[in-house]
Every structure is written in structure tokens, then in C-alpha cells.
């Protein structure tokens, strides 16, 4: 059985809380059934609710009702949803009127909450290629299967970096300190006419005093670098082929140039002048 890179609760958290924004289908299903719970509370004129009152509730309080053992599975499922949502109805999360409850609000009430993370804005940036931003998310969570982790799992015998062979392959080494990776990052920095910030490159650029468009361009460019570094690392592992970093940098450049064409209508005024001063679109 394969060990997941990120636990499911974290995957299903909102992006601003460090997750991927995917909905948890089990929680969503409970929230959807909660709509029926809410109808019993506040829509007595609905035919289905009248039938429920006649067959199951029989003038009992819905708030305190517990199903007997001989009722249907579907009705037990509605009652289980009520038990999970009852605090929301009890403490005013929803008003008992025609606009009080929605499946979305029920899901938000039931889901696991985490602290807001400072990196979600630049990791999930809309200008970056989707598969690049997903890898960036795994990177910032330190969830990639670098050799440091693989040795701990007993998958491989040594922990040396596959790109330079000089140090332990950790997240920090592979994407910040590795001489091979630095060649690619420096190549992109030269194309962008910028200096690489120390430490976390994406966060460093994001915190600089630049316009939003300039930050967006840099996120697109350097997230692409990380993706191609990881891709090249896999090429070495699977095919034992190490492409020259200058060639990889040219590949990154082509992808970034095509991506920026998608957003060319948003690059205006001084931002366009800045972009033309770089070599990204050449």
C-alpha cells in the first residue's frame, strides 16, 4: 500500500489553510443530507415533511428525536446528519427560515479547521501553470519523496542528491543549495533581470516591493523552475540521463513565455515596460 504524500484532511482543507481546496465528499454528503434536516425544522408544509411527521416523528420534538431500530436506513442517515449538525441549529449558525441553511454553510460547519498559512497566495497563484503550482504546494509542505525520505523508508540505500551527488537530497538542498539547481535558477534570474533572494525564493519575491503583475510574472517563472528541477531529478533516477542545466533553463523559458501570453492583456503601462526590459518574452 502506497503511503500518501499528504494526509486526506490536509488535502481537503481550503487553500488558505494549507490544503488543496478539494472538497471532502463524505463531509459534503452529510452537509447535503442536512438540507433534509433543515426542511423538517422549518418547512412543515412540504409534502415529504408532512409524511415524516406522520410516519416517524408523530408529534415528537425533532430536536430531541432519536430513531428506533426498525426504521429505514435512509431515515437513520438523515438522523445521523442531524446529530452532527445539531449544534449549528442550537447555537444560531442558521436561522430557521427559508434562507437559513445551505449545503456550503453546512460543509463549512462540519469540516476540520486549520490555521491560515502565509504562503497560499503565491503557491496557488493563477498565473502559474496548474501542475507547477501543485508541485509547489507539495514542496512548501515538504511532502515530496526526496532521497532523505526514501532512505528513511528503506526504499534506497544512499541519500545523495541525484543532480549533484555532493550532499543529502533534502527539500532545501534540491531546490535551494544544489549547484545544478542553482544554475537553472540563476539562468531564470538573469532572464528576469533580478537577483535571487536568500532562503525561500518564492516567498522572497512575494515580499519584495513590486507591483502585483511583476510578482505574478516571477511566481510563474520560478515555480516553473522548481517543476523542471523535479522533472529532471526524475529523469536521472529513471533514465540515468542528466541534461545540461542551460538546456533545462531554455525549456523553462519557453514554457513561461507561452504562459505569459495568456495574461498579456493584464500587463499594461509600467508593468509592460518592465517586462520588455527583461528577456522573458524574447
Domain range list for the chain? 25-110, 120-277
Q: What is the pLDDT of residue 35?
A: 92
Positions of the chain with pLDDT lower than 50, given as ranges: none
CA distance 85 to 41: 12
Say what the alpha-carbon torsion angle 243, 245, 247, 249 is, to the nearest 10 degrees: 140
Q: Which of 141, 153, 136 is nearest to 227 (CA)?
A: 136
Q: What is the pLDDT of residue 167?
A: 94
Per-residue model confidence as pLDDT tens digits over 159-208: 999 999 999 999 999 999 999 999 999 999 999 999 999 889 999 999 99
Q: What is the pLDDT of residue 153?
A: 84
Grouping H, G, I as helix, E, B as strand and the rest as coil, residue 160 is strand
Q: What is the pLDDT of residue 1?
A: 54
Q: What is the pLDDT of residue 97?
A: 58
Q: What is the pLDDT of residue 98?
A: 54
Q: What is the pLDDT of residue 42?
A: 86
CA distance 114 to 49: 37
CA distance 150 to 203: 27
Q: What is the pLDDT of residue 96?
A: 62
Q: What is the pLDDT of residue 3?
A: 73
Amino acid at each position: 500500500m502506497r503511503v500518501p504524500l499528504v494526509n486526506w484532511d490536509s488535502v481537503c482543507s481550503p487553500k488558505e489553510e494549507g490544503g488543496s481546496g478539494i472538497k471532502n465528499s463524505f463531509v459534503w454528503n452529510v452537509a447535503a443530507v442536512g438540507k433534509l434536516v433543515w426542511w423538517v425544522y422549518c418547512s412543515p408544509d412540504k409534502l415529504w415533511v408532512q409524511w415524516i411527521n406522520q410516519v416517524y416523528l408523530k408529534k415528537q420534538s425533532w430536536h430531541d428525536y432519536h430513531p428506533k431500530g426498525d426504521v429505514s436506513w435512509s431515515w437513520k442517515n438523515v438522523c445521523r446528519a442531524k446529530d452532527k449538525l445539531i449544534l449549528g441549529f442550537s447555537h444560531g449558525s442558521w436561522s430557521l427560515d427559508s434562507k437559513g441553511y445551505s449545503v456550503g454553510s453546512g460543509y463549512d460547519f462540519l469540516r476540520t479547521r486549520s490555521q491560515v498559512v502565509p504562503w497560499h497566495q503565491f503557491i496557488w497563484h493563477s498565473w502559474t501553470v496548474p501542475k507547477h503550482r501543485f508541485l509547489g504546494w507539495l514542496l512548501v509542505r515538504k511532502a515530496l519523496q526526496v532521497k532523505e525520505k526514501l532512505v528513511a523508508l528503506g526504499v534506497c540505500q544512499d541519500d545523495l542528491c541525484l543532480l549533484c551527488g555532493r550532499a543529502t537530497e533534502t527539500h532545501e538542498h534540491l531546490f535551494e543549495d544544489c549547484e545544478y539547481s542553482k544554475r537553472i535558477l540563476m539562468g531564470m534570474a538573469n532572464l528576469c533581470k533580478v537577483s535571487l533572494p536568500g532562503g525561500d525564493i518564492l516567498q522572497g519575491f512575494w515580499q519584495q516591493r513590486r507591483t502585483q503583475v511583476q510578482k505574478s510574472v516571477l511566481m510563474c517563472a520560478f515555480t516553473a523552475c522548481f517543476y523542471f528541477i523535479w522533472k529532471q531529478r526524475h529523469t536521472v533516477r529513471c533514465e540515468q540521463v542528466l541534461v545540461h542545466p542551460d538546456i533545462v533553463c531554455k525549456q523553462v523559458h519557453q514554457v513561461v513565455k507561452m504562459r505569459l501570453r495568456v495574461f498579456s492583456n493584464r500587463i499594461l503601462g509600467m508593468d509592460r515596460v518592465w517586462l520588455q526590459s527583461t528577456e522573458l518574452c524574447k
